[in-house]
């Protein structure tokens, strides 16, 4: 969280700090409270706090009550019409029952392969976003952003990334013009792919693996040097903001 704030202060560009529902199991709302505190203390540019890949109503409602700006309602494992109904209900709760006046809701069509924060989907079970159902899904759920699956994966890419640009362009054509698209699994994607995605309307990139790898390596080196815990933490933050 501190690394994100430092990056925002250096670049004067906004960012979103995301946390996974598993953090509630680890420390209840302590991480969420820390994220909100750090985000609100940044005056250079906005930092929003989001709950990512939430498939539990309990986790979503807890985050909404505690003041998040944004939730990712992940019904991607559900049957389509069940996903539509559940996501629409999350949007209604985010609009009418949250601590803040209105909380943005992102949803996903398709199923992303890879592993992150205990979320694991085998490649053979991954499913691309179907462009033909995008307009119906958005209209019925009233979501604020759509996460797409076009060959992107959580975690490290096992081979050279191969994104389906034609599919992304069709998704963009079928979605409302003002609907932001989201690309999860952006760690490891080269700049030319990021720029290509932006040209097709992707406005939010989720980056986790690269940042964590830098942090873990810094912790490993600092621990081997027998540094104090606070110094290890400082080295970790430095490594995440090159």
Give which of 154, 174, 147, 149 is closest to 164, Cα–Cα. Answer: 149
CA 65/CA 93 separation, integer angstroms? 10
What is the set of active-site residues? 52
Q: By three-state DSSP, how is residue 221 classified?
A: helix
| Longest CA–CA separation in the chain, Å | 57
In this structure, are residues 89 and 110 in contact, taking their beta carbons and an 8 Å threshold?
Answer: no
CB atoms within 10 A of CB 206: 23
Question: 121 forms bridges with which residues in the sheet?
Answer: 114
Q: By three-state DSSP, how is residue 183 classified?
A: strand
- Contact residues for 181 (Cβ-Cβ < 8 A; gap 6+): 145, 146, 147, 148, 168, 171, 172, 175, 200, 201, 202, 203, 204
In this structure, are residues 208 and 188 in contact, taking their beta carbons and an 8 Å threshold?
Answer: no
């Amino acid at each position: 969280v501190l690394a994100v704030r430092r990056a925002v202060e250096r670049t004067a560009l906004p960012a979103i700090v995301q946390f996974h529902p598993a953090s509630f199991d680890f420390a209840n709302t302590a991480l969420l409270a820390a994220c909100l505190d750090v985000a609100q203390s940044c005056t250079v540019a906005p930092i929003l706090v989001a709950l990512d890949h939430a498939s539990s109503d309990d986790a979503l409602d807890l985050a909404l009550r505690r003041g998040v700006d944004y939730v990712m309602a992940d019904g991607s494992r559900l049957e389509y019409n069940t996903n539509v109904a559940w996501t629409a209900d999350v949007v209604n709760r985010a609009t009418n029952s949250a601590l803040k006046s209105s909380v943005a809701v992102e949803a996903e069509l398709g199923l992303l392969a890879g592993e992150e924060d205990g979320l694991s989907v085998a490649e053979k079970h991954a499913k691309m976003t179907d462009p033909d159902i995008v307009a119906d899904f958005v209209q019925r759920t009233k979501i604020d952003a759509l996460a797409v699956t076009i060959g992107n994966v959580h975690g490290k890419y096992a081979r050279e990334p191969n994104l389906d640009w034609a599919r992304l362009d069709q998704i963009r054509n079928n979605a409302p013009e003002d609907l932001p698209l989201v690309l999860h699994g952006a760690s490891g994607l080269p700049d030319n792919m990021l720029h290509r995605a932006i040209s097709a309307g992707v406005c939010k990139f989720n980056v986790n693996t690269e940042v964590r790898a830098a942090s873990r390596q810094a912790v490993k080196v600092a621990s081997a040097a027998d540094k104090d815990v606070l110094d290890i933490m400082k080295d970790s933050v430095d490594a995440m903001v090159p």
